[in-house]
Each structure stands twice: as C-alpha cells, then as structure tokens.
Amino acid sequence: MTEEINIFLSKLILHGESILAEIFRLSSFIPKDFRDPTKSSKFKNIVQLDFKYLSKVDQIEKELESHLRLQTQFYSTFEPVLIAFEQLFSSISEFVQSFISYTKEAEIINGETRMDVNRTSELEAYCLYISGILIIYMDTYIPAPIRERIYIAIYRKSDVRENAEFLVDFLKATVPGNDSMIRRIPLPESFITSTINAIEIIEGTSLQIPKAQLMYVALQFDRQTLTNDSAIMTKIANSIYRETWVINLGFGVIANVFDGWYNFKSAWNAINSTITQQDAQRIMEKHLKMMNETSFPQVINEMIDFEQNLKKISMCNRSLKWLFLHSKISQKTSRPLNKYRLPSDDQLFQWLLHVSRCEILLLNLYTTTLENRDVEGTERKQNIRTLLHQLAEFFEHGFVKMGESQKTNFVKWVRNLSETVEKIDLNDTTESVETIQQIIRRVKQVGDQLGLSINLTLKDCLSTLDTDLRALMSVLSLSDSMIPEVYSKMESTYLWPLISQLIPRIQQNLVSTSNTDVVRQIFTKLSISCYMLKLKLSNFSDKDHVASRIANTYSYALEKNLKTVLQSVPQHLFGIMYNVIMPGLGKTFEPYIEKTELRELSEFVTNSRLVETTSLIANTSMGISRMMLTRVGTIEINPKELLEEGMIRQLYKEIKKMIGTTSATSSIENLLKMCDNIETMRCSFLYLCDYMNLDGEHVWSVAMDDFFSRISEERAFARSSGELEKNYIAELFIKITNPKASRFSESSLSWKDVKMSKTVLSFDVFDRIEKIVPFHILTSIETHITVELEKMLIEYISNARKIGVSFNLQNSVTHESAFQFFTGPNYERLVKSIQPQSAALAAILAQIGQYLIILRTICNAKQLANRHKEDSIQRDLIEMSISMARDPTDLPTEMGTILKLMMQYSLYDPERMIFRLKDEPSPLFIIALVQCLLPKIGDPYFVCPKQLEVGIRFVLRQSRLLPYFLPIIREQLPQSSRPKKRVSDVDRFLRHLISNL
C-alpha cells in the first residue's frame, strides 16, 4: 500500500512540476491584447471581458451578436494561445483536485496526526510545496486580470466546461490581506499540521529542496499558526531562518520572509526577535569576508588541485547566493540590513564572474581528464616509476649514508614499489586507489624514519613523488557518477529570477570587451540548474521522459535569454557599420585621378578606423563562433547560428527603420534616394559579414524576405489581428497615379499630372528600383496591389448589382435575346438607373485599370531586369510556358511549383487574370454603363480614359458569358450615340476597348 501511495505522489510531483514549467513558459506568450485591452485596436470589446461577464452572460452576448465576424477573427487569431492556456488550466484543476482528494483520504486513514517521517511524508511535503508555488507562480507570471480575460475567452468558445466552478474560484483576483491559499486549495488542517511537523524533523532528504523553502510555503496554508502561535513560530524561526531569511522558490520567485510574514503577528514577532540588526550585520560580514579574501586561480591544470578548488567554489557559492538574495532592499522598512551598506550590483556581478570563471576551469579540467583518463593515468604511472628509479639510484650511488645491507634492502623495496605501480589496473578504481594510498603512507613513513627530508635533493624528489601519486589517485577516482556532486556545489537556481537584471551587464561586458568568455561562464552556470532539476525529477519515475521535457522547457527559456544577450552584438556591429564602414565604403572615385585626390585615396585605403573596426568585427564574431557553449540547460545550441539569427533580426529592424516610414516614401525622389541608401547599406553589410564568416547574401535575402512578406504576403492571406505593416511604397504609387489627377500614356509608359503637365511616374523608375533592390520592393507592391485589385473588383460588382438587381440581367436576358433588349424600353430604364451612379462606377473601374497598369509595368520591369542578368530560371520558365501553350493537355507533374515560380518572376499578363468571384459582372450592364460614360470621355475633370478602358476590359473578362456576348459588344458599342464634343477621343476609346477584348 505504501509503495502504491509513493508512486501516486511521485507522479503527482511530476505533474505539478510540469505545470510550474508551463506557467513559466506561457507567461512570455501572453498576447498584448490580454495584457492591456485598452491598447487593443480591434478586439477591445472581447478581450476586456473578465469574471464580471459570468453575472450577465445573456446581456453581453446579445451586445456581441452584431460582431460575429469580429469574434470569428478573434478566435482565429488567438486560437493557439487559448488552446495552450486551456490545457494549462485543465492540468491545474486536475492536479489540485487530485491532491485535495488524496489529503482527505490520508486524513481518514492516518488519523489526525503522524509523528513518523518516512518517504511518504517527504513526498507529501513536496506536493504541498508545489501547490503553494503553483499559486505564487500564477500570481507572479499571470496576474489575476490577465488570467480572468484569458479564461473567459476560453469559456465562451468551449462547449465542454469541466471544472468551471473550481477554475473561476481558483483564478479570480485575490483580496489583499484576507485571501489565502487555504481558500484556493482547501486542505485538511490535520494534514497541514502533520506535514509542517515532518518538515521540522527532516534533516537529509532526497527531495533536494532546502528546508527553509519547504517551511515557508507550507506555513502559507496555516494562517492560524502564523498569526497566533508564538511558541511554534519562534521555534521555526530559530531553527530554520536564523541565518537565511531571503529564499528563492524554484526558478521564478524570490521571497523575503520579513515581507511574507509582515501581516501575521506571531510570525513577524518571531522573525524580528530571531534576527537582530547585529546578527544580520555579523552574517553579512562573514559572507563578505569570504568573497573578499578568496583568491581565484587563473589556471587549474592539475587534478590534485581539483578537490581543494571545488571546496573553495562551494563555499563561495553559498556566500554569493546569500549576498545576491539578501542585498535587495526590502519592501518593509524594518528589514535588518536596510540600514547597512550592502554590496553594489557591480560588485556582485564581478564576484559572479570570478566564481563562474573558476567553475569553467574546474569543469574543463574534469571533462578533459575524464575523456583522457587512460592516457593521463598511464603517463602518471610512468612519471612515478621514473621518480622511483631516480630514488633507487640516489641510494645506490651513496647520496644517503647507510649500511650496505640497509641500502640493498631499501633499493629492493623501491624497485618493488615501481613494479607495484606498473601493475596498477586503471579500470579497477577501488583497488588501485587503495594501493596508491598505501604507497603514499609507506613512502612518508620510510622518509621520516630515515630522515631523508634533510637532503634537499631527496626532499624534492619525495615531494614530486607524493604529488604525482596523489594526482594519479585523483585521475583514477574520476567517473561520470561524480558529475551530480560537482554540479551540486555550483548551484545557481537563485539566479534565475535575477536574469533580467544580469542581462544588461552581460551585454555591456560583451560589447565593451568583445570577449565571449563572460557569456559562456554565466550561461554554463545557469545551465547547471536545468541539469540538476532533470536529475532530481528523474528520481520520481520518469518513464514518459517528463523530467526531460520539464528541463527542456527551462532550457528553451535560457536559450531565449542567450539570444537576447547575443543580440547586443548585431546592434553594436550595425552601429559600427553606420559610423565607420558605410562612410568609408561610400566614397567613390572617378576612373581618372588628379594629384589633389591622391591623398584622399591614400587615406581611404589605409584608413586606420576601418582597419581597426574590421579587426574588432572579426575578433567578436570569431569569439562567438568558438564560444564552446554548445548546450544551454539540456538542449544543444550552435552559437554561430544564434549569431546569424541575431543579425537577421537586427537587419530586419534596420530595413524597417529605413523603408517603413512615410518620409522615405513621400515622393519618388525620396523613394529612389532610399533605394540608393539600401544598396549602400547592402554593400556595407556584406563587407561586415565577410569578416564575421557569415553568408551575407543569405542573411540579407532572409531579412528582406521577412520584411516584405510582412507587408505583402500577409496582406494577401490577411491575418485578422489587424497588425500588418503598411506598404508605404505601394501607397505612394497608388496615390500619384490616381486616375482623376493623372493620365497614363501608352507610348511613353508614364503617368503625367493633369494640372502641372509633368511626368510623375515612369517605367524608368520601376526599372531603376528593380536594379537597385532586385525582386523585393516591386514584388511587395505587386502583391499589395493584387489584393487591392480584388477588393475593388468586388466593390464594383456589389454596387452594380444593387443598381441592376431589378432588371435580373443575368437570368432574363440571354445573348439570343440581347438585341431585342437593346431596342426595348427596359434598356432605356437601365441607362436612366445607371446615370446617377455612373461617375462613381467609372471611378472604381478606372482605379481597377490603374492597378492593372501598375502591375503590368512591374512585370515588364522585373522581366527586363532578369533578362539583363541572364537569369537561367526565367529563361527556362519562358520556354516551358511556350511549350505548355502549344500543348495544354501535356502538363508537367510539378505544375503547382512551376506556376508559383512564374508568379514570382511575374511571367503573366495581369489583364488576363481571372478571380474566383461569388457574383459575376453582367456584360449588358457594362454596355449600358459605357453608354452613360461616353459624354465624359476626354474631359480633364473626368478619370483617365486609358485606365478606364483597361478597367472595363478587365471586368468584362471576369464574366463567363463574355464569349457569348462578345459579338454583341462589338456591334452595339460602335453604334452608341456620340457626344458633340471630343468625338475623336470617344472613337479612340471605343476602338481600343473593343479591339483588345
């Protein structure tokens, strides 16, 4: 029965630790809409719903009925996050209710109190500890307002609302001073009392959790003792908190006992009487003395020094932990150390660097020696035999005065020792270590008996022999089983809540010194915590690798912090690029050189700043690439890949800063200047990457793709979050080619302003942009305008349908009866219905034509640029297109990939695009509309005729009835009545419209 209980509790512990890790992980993925609904531009009315919603569900749901589409977008946007939190809340409910059920059953079985301490009571204490930490983590990482909003979002979507009552009570905001863990996790009083008694008695435990942490959390469930039982609280404070009153709770929280017990009379009096200001000062001075007086070796090469230095590191880590935790000013003014001068953050950081550097030296020595154990052991054996041979020769040659028989016996004894050393089996650790210990003792005894230490030569030989024997013993003692013990003396879990404070200092050190050793040392120290956690949790039966997944969760968080630290390098290097590289590489010289320019050219070539900077770049990047930090926690990493990712992220920000502003795209002149700046930045960036041993072209391409996909592809497959970046370049092109204010000329491929009669945009601009910044800018404009084109097409069809709905043109008039319709009264009525709205419809059609002409110009510019570059892919695609046009029935199997490539290379005719539309345009309606528009064709205050023509033609092609109505259009439109003015303009308009259909 006991074994079954222990198995159950062990699984419950793993479940609880998984929840803690998930809270820690998900806290970094909370959407900003839930953090601050007032800043949510789109979903404010939905994300602001908290538990007040439950008291007026019907009223709120009725108000939200008019926003069904917005709700669909909301859940589509946040679905992954909500699913993750739903699973978290469900796990919390399962863990808490399982633990509550167990404690109630245990109370019935065991009675009110249990005095014995066994494995079961230890596991119960751990479960109670996790229960308390769970609530503390929830309040710290997912504050009540946020978790209420998230839960309501889940609640409204979910059909199955299991444990809703429990979760609402558990997740709701607490009442300061009155709300307790007892209400949220109600456990039997007798169970809590028994567990607290067990924690008091526990001395050494496999739980690997300090008693101070267990007791602090357990007492949160016993408010009666904290408030009224002075005797027990005094006993606990004296036995547990006399020297430590600030503790770290797991990986996420630091708790000050003075702050935690401030509102509880007995506990507050007990801790105040236990820790006086004089006691606190004495304890602090003890730890300060340890850190100030300890000298850390610069090099550790011998295993004989390993144990001594490991002991020193263990003591320093205890003092460093105490100083880090106790050096923060308390929220309560009566904290004992508040009046004393505490070590500064800079001093603490320097001590941390010294300790972590020494730890790296020890770990390197340990790892290297363990890997080369046999080789190292064999060399040590040979050295010892050589020394023993020298010792024997000393006696044979009479360096020591002794009788012949004594000399013979002594030489024989030394040679026997040499043979014993030779026979030492390096694989039999126990026997070999005992043999070496016997040799050490025997050599010392014989040396003392013969007074050999008087002879300086013999003394030196014996000292070296003793050192080598002890070194061999250290090598033989090495094994993988020692790693947990070594790591336990380098404990660093307390640093996790302080990572956000350490990161700026690490970044500053990295940037100022270009030395990556600090990064490696501190993150190796932090990684040890993940390893120790995995090792500890593996003791609780880890068949499903739960312990590994929990450790990996914290490891990924550590990797994220490492990326943040390394991101300071790209930021620093880009600053160098702007200040040094770009000005240096930006200088241009003509093919001919005048005498006055020679000096300037010479200064450029030998520019000391550029040379110095190049060296700095190379050293920094090489340091990161060779940092030898291949793991953080329990996951493998590649520092060079992290550096490359950081460069991509930083380059993305710089591109966004340069392109994603209205000033850079306020005019074509500014746009072209911006393109030149981008090209200069690209050259400088490639120079930078060359000395960083990075593929600059790849990094540049990825960053450009990331930025322009954000403002183009995501627009095409629009996410509903409403957070898409604006494509200012596309908006500039649309603005200056407005059909009302500009006219497009087919002959010159340019747009002219109507009022100023000057060219505002030409094909040369597109061509130049494509040559300076290939592919990305024009492709982003292309995608943007294609999406806008579809919207405009849908808008036209919707407006036209409202006007022509009463005529039922799609069903009542066929191509056979069309001629009768044109001569009948219904056609006249249709024209009169269209007339008031004709100008608005013409504006939409002209805008459609505007988009199409821009798209066509982009396609031509991209194709021309690729031809100049002799792009083999474009050439193959064109040949493939011609081949498929000859025989459309014989298509390649990879047709989807081919079409995608053709779209990327813009090998299509935009005017021939066909959209999938719910409703199709009516050719008859367009004929009537054209009849209404003819009097305005050529009017300078009307829209551009060419763009209108292209738009009308495109809309007609969207109708599947066009082939049937094409003869009617060609016959009917030329017969349309002409206006008295601008007849030639009208004739040209109709001729181009009909002939290109």
pLDDT in tens, 573-627: 888 888 888 876 655 545 555 655 555 545 554 455 666 666 767 777 766 766 6
Residue type, 781: I
pLDDT band at 206 (very low <50, low <70, confident <90, very high): low
Share of the chain above pLDDT 70, in %: 88
Report whether 95 contacts 179 (CB < 8 A): no
pLDDT in tens, 310-325: 999 999 999 999 999 9
pLDDT band at 275 (very low <50, low <70, confident <90, very high): confident
**SS3 state at 375:** helix
Please tell me the predicted confidence (pLDDT) of residue 738.
93
Distance of CA 110 to the CA centre of its chain: 49
What residue has token string 């809270």? 23
* Residue 246 main-chain phi, psi, to 5 deg: -125, 125
**Counting every residue, how long is the chain?**
997
pLDDT of 923 strictly over 60: yes
pLDDT of 836 strictly over 60: yes
Which is higher by pLDDT, 584 or 142? 142
* Residue closest to 215 by CA, chosen among 197, 227, 230, 203: 197
pLDDT of 119 strictly over 90: no
pLDDT band at 402 (very low <50, low <70, confident <90, very high): low
Please tell me the predicted confidence (pLDDT) of residue 385.
84
Please tell me the predicted confidence (pLDDT) of residue 313.
92
What's the per-residue H, E or C state across 690-708? HCCCCCHHHHHHHHHHHHH
Please tell me the predicted confidence (pLDDT) of residue 339.
60
CA dist 985 and 997 (Å) reads 19
Percent of the chain as helix, strand, coil, to the nearest 5:
75, 0, 25
**pTM for the whole thing?**
0.78
Report whether 291 contacts 351 (CB < 8 A): yes
Mean pLDDT for the chain overall: 83
Please tell me the predicted confidence (pLDDT) of residue 383.
86
Which residue spans within 520-621 are E strands per DSSP? none
Q: Which two tokens stand for residue 628?
A: 């030898």
Share of the chain above pLDDT 90, in %: 26
Q: Which two tokens stand for residue 576?
A: 């160098």
CA dist 260 and 257 (Å) reads 5
CA dist 253 and 496 (Å) reads 8
> Any alpha helices (H) in 211-256, and if so which ranges?
211-219, 223-228, 230-240
pLDDT of 97 strictly over 80: yes
pLDDT of 528 strictly over 80: yes
pLDDT in tens, 929-942: 988 898 888 888 89
Q: What is the C-alpha R_g of the chain?
A: 40
pLDDT in tens, 211-241: 999 999 999 898 889 888 899 999 999 999 9
pLDDT in tens, 237-252: 999 998 899 999 989 8
Residue 482, judged by CB atoms within 10 A of its CB (0-12, 13-18, 19+), counts as middle
